[in-house]
Amino acid sequence: MKRTNLVILPLIIGAVVIFYTRPFERATVSDIDTPWVRTRLLSFTRTSQPLVQPVQTHQDEATDQQFSIESTKPRSTGYQPLPSSVIDRIKVFVLFVGHARSGHSIVGSILDSHPHIVIAHESNILKKTYYATSKSYLYNQLWKSSYMQASGGLRTANSTKKGYSLAIHGACQGSYQSYIDVIGDKKGDMTSTIFGYNSKRFQNTVNKLRSIINVPIKLFHVIRNPYDNIATAVLYQSFKFLHISAIKQSNESVTVNPNVIDSQIEAYFYHYRAAEGVKLVMPDHETMEVHGKDLISDPKAVISDMCKYLEVHCSDDYMNVASKQVFGGESKTRYKIKWEDYQILKVQEHISEFDSLKRYIDFDY
């Protein structure tokens, strides 16, 4: 009997260890309708990764004045954690807030291509902040995400995951020159979702983040025309990816279930109110609104304004290269679905609540 217990006991201990250290599955915001997924996605959980990464020496010795397009390509030697000298120099931490499919990815990609800015692609750093104990851990999580996206993710030239690439040829994506001034995470929809789900937990998490990094936190609120945002969400809920591509290329609009449009209208403005709430509870109220329409019409002016907001130098070389990432025109998906009159009036009613959206109140703006 004792011998049997000695055999079974290690198996039980092993099962418990695996259960408590395994990473949770990734859910998406579109799955958040069920209570189980809501709890699973928004509860801050454990990780099996070490809290502090080992430090190695960074070899880049370029300066602002020596900015070279070719020298800023990601190193082929593989990912290396940030040295403490780089970590201690970082001056600003960036978060994104807003609705999914608003243009956060493009803005994040443009900023990440700056020689002294690192912006991760959906690292979900607020969730990781809950169990973090050092800025070394947080910064290396962001740096690794930036590096990996430029090495084999959406920021590579041959990326086809979303039907387009976020690569900026010859720019500083997944790398940096000598030092980093600004670091952050492009995960705007989740920032809003966490606040909307539990504003007190959000505030506590941001307060903990501030205490760990001890640098100013600045927000980017990326805004797209609400009609386009809602219509895009409707298409992705109603059709498969290949069908959506065909619809976008067509000159005609499609008929969809009116209930889907109704639910997406409410979902959009729920997230927008949450985004506005995030901006209000941040103690320093540091927020820059980036309208996709402005970025498309005058990319260099908006990129220059973003650099001024972050207090980093914006060279002509950087601006010329980064501005090439911006799409040639707006994706006006509002014309790809058939709206009922009452739905347009409902959107206009919601838009009138927010000063930052009033420019979009006309459906044909």
What integer pLDDT is reported at residue 286 of this predicted model?
80
* pLDDT above 70: percentage of residues in the chain: 75
User: What gap in Å lies between CA 181 and CA 199, rounded to an integer?
Assistant: 29
**pLDDT reported for residue 79:** 82
Average model confidence (pLDDT) across the chain? 80
Is 273's pLDDT higher than 70?
A: yes
Q: Return d(Cα 10, Cα 7) in angstroms, integer.
A: 6
- The residue ranking higher by pLDDT, 205 or 14, is 205
pTM comes to 0.77
Question: Is residue 263 pLDDT above 80, yes or no?
Answer: yes
Q: Give me the percent of the chain exceeding a pLDDT of 90.
A: 58
Examine the pLDDT at 73 and tell me if it is beyond 80: no
Is the pLDDT reported for residue 224 higher than 90?
A: yes
Strands (E), the chain: 92-97, 117-121, 182-186, 217-223, 287-291
According to the model, what pLDDT value does residue 165 have? 73
Of 116-125, 166-175, 254-263, the one with minimum mean pLDDT is 166-175
Token output for 304? 């220059």
Q: Give pLDDT, residue 189.
A: 77
What confidence tens digit (pLDDT) does each residue in 171-192 have? 889 999 999 999 999 987 778 8
Q: What is the pLDDT of residue 197?
A: 80
Confidence of residue 347 (pLDDT cuts 50, 70, 90): very high
- Is residue 40's pLDDT more than 70? no
Residue of 197, 218, 191 whose CA lies nearest to 102: 191
Is residue 32 scored above 70 in pLDDT?
A: no
pLDDT (mean) for 82-108: 94
Question: What mean pLDDT is predicted for residues 274-295?
Answer: 87
pLDDT at site 280: 86
3-state helix vs strand vs coil in the chain, percent to 5: 55, 10, 40
Residue in the block written with tokens 């109140």? 361
pLDDT reported for residue 55? 30
State the pLDDT at residue 212: 97
pLDDT of residue 14: 57
Q: What is the pLDDT of residue 275?
A: 92
Poorest-confidence range of 20-34, 139-153, 227-241, 268-282? 20-34
pLDDT confidence bin for 28, thresholds 50/70/90: very low
Distance (Å, rounded) from C-alpha 67 to C-alpha 319? 12
pLDDT interval class at 9 (50, 70, 90): low
Tell me which of 66-75, 168-177, 255-264, 328-337 is least confident: 66-75
How, if at all, do strands 182-186 and 117-121 pair? parallel
> pLDDT value at position 193?
84
Round to whole Å and give the CA distance between 121 and 153: 9
Predicted local distance difference test score (pLDDT) of residue 83: 96
What is the average pLDDT across 28-54?
Answer: 32
User: Within a 13 Å sphere around the CA of 66, how many CA atoms are in the beta-carbon half?
Assistant: 9
Element (H, E) at 345: helix 341-351
Does position 358 have pLDDT exceeding 90, yes or no?
Answer: yes
Q: How confident is the model at residue 160 (pLDDT cuts 50, 70, 90)?
A: low
